[in-house]
Homo-oligomer: A and B are copies of this chain.
Amino acid sequence: MSLRILATGGTFDKRYDPIAGTLGFARTHLHVLLRQARIEGAATVQELMQVDSLDMTDAHRRQVLEACAASPEDRIVVIHGTDTLVDTARVLGEARLPRTIVLTGAMVPVDLADSDALFNLGFAAGCARVLPHGVHVAMNAQVFAWDAVRKNRALGVFEPVHATQA
């Protein structure tokens, strides 16, 4: 009955480097977030990589797919950079695994006081608990099928793609 949470990096998990003065990557924040959410027993974190989603390669996406296929839990949340989240959703969606997979991310890194990351993690976990098998994108308090969503980069929000546009 546990959830699996796969960490791949993205804005969600970026970490400030005080010497370099830039946002980069170190280890995932997810263990700390589960403790804060008081759900350490309800979810298992698996850190696959920590990359900006613009730097994600086909090999990275295959690694995510393999982790989903190998997951002992059939309810999975994938933390992902928003820029290519829909691309990874497509790779997962086309594989038609017998799993409920929900991808989410954040527009503001979790270390920032005003981050949307913890809300999005909760929202995705709620969707993962309830949705049937399939691949879904959960952002902006909305849930989309993997083949019916795109990121509007100018606004920084996810929006539905209508059939005529697909």
Contact = CB atoms under 8 A, between A and B. Distances in A.
A145 interface: no
A82 to B, nearest CB: 9
Interface string A123-147: 1111111110000001011110000
Of A23, A113, A119, chain B has the most CB atoms within 10 Å of the CB of: A119
Interface residues of A, number: 49
Majority SS of interface residues in chain A?
A: mixed
A141 B42 contact: yes
Copies per complex of this chain: 4
Given A118-B122, A119-B122, A130 B143 contact: yes
Contacts of A143: 126, 129-130
A11 interface: yes
Contact of A113 (B113, B116, B126): B113
Interface of A: 1, 3, 11, 16, 18-19, 21-23, 33, 36-39, 42-43, 107-109, 111-116, 118-131, 138, 140-143, 153-157
Given A23-B23, A112-B112, A127-B129, 5 more contacts: A19-B107, A120-B122, A126-B129, A129-B143, A130-B143
